[in-house]
Amino acid sequence: MKMVGALLATFREAAGHTQRSLGEHFVVSEQQIASIEQGRRPLKPDLADQLDDLLDTKGALTAALAHMPEVDLVPLWAEEFLDREREAIAISSYENQVVPGLLQTEAYAWAVFRGRVPFYGEDTIARLAAARLERQRILHGEDTPITCFVVWEPVVRSPIGGREVWAEQLRHLRACSELPGLMLQVLPLDRTSHAGLNGPFVLLETPEHQRLAYTENQRGSQLIADSDEVAILTQKCAMLRSQALTPEDTRDLLDRLLGEK
């Protein structure tokens, strides 16, 4: 990815384009072009074809992509979601299985990946856990997105990885709940109504104010751009936030769980 990005930068400069002018030509952000050139996000085949035409590179970028090693750790839809997540100005997440990836500790992430069936090898788990922790940098930079996390109470009560891993994860959640621009809410078990029974989802708002949704199930994932479908999940998210504990009451719950550990 770094080699392909360096090729793009070389061809772009030779053609007299800046990252901004190139992005404007293809209606993508300057930041996206920069990320590709730095090797932080993949160049997609359709964009490579268009760049080859514009920059008159005789198919060099398309050929470079064709000979890249195959990496199957991250499915295509999930890869596109991670690209959008890095640039998002707002993120809302509902989770009823595990702690959201952006809030996981390293030990908890290892425990989640170790529980997968079919099983991952240790090297694969190490790469996946490292990538998950790298994602969390967006919560600690200068331009952090506004984030809202709603998690069902069983998530914070399940000792995944063992009691020590669980306690460390609770302390991390407690600390994250104090971050500026981050809202953490627990949906308690005693609620008689629950707007998220169909499963977890994530909502994103891009710098261009496009709204997207991302869902996962046992055998796949989906990035949703259809405005009607995104609107439905946005309504569910609003309902879940009203059904959940307030951020202050959520912190009190985490404190009680830590006291009971």
Q: What pLDDT, on a 0 to 100 scale, did the predictor assign at position 72?
A: 44
Q: What is the pLDDT along the chain (261 residues), one digit of tens a residue?
A: 889 999 999 999 999 999 999 989 887 888 889 988 988 777 888 899 999 999 999 999 999 988 876 554 455 557 778 888 988 999 999 999 999 999 999 999 999 999 999 899 999 999 999 999 999 999 998 889 999 999 999 999 999 999 999 999 999 999 999 999 999 999 999 999 999 999 999 999 998 898 999 998 887 788 888 899 999 999 999 999 999 999 999 999 999 999 975
Q: What pLDDT, on a 0 to 100 scale, did the predictor assign at position 45?
A: 84
Give the separation between CA 203 and CA 241, rounded to whole angstroms.
13
Determine whether 144 is exposed, middle or buried from the number of CB atoms within 10 Å of its CB (0-12, 13-18, 19+).
Answer: middle
Q: What pLDDT, on a 0 to 100 scale, did the predictor assign at position 217?
A: 82
Distances from the Cα of 64 to the Cα of 40, 42, 213, 214, angstroms: 16, 12, 31, 30
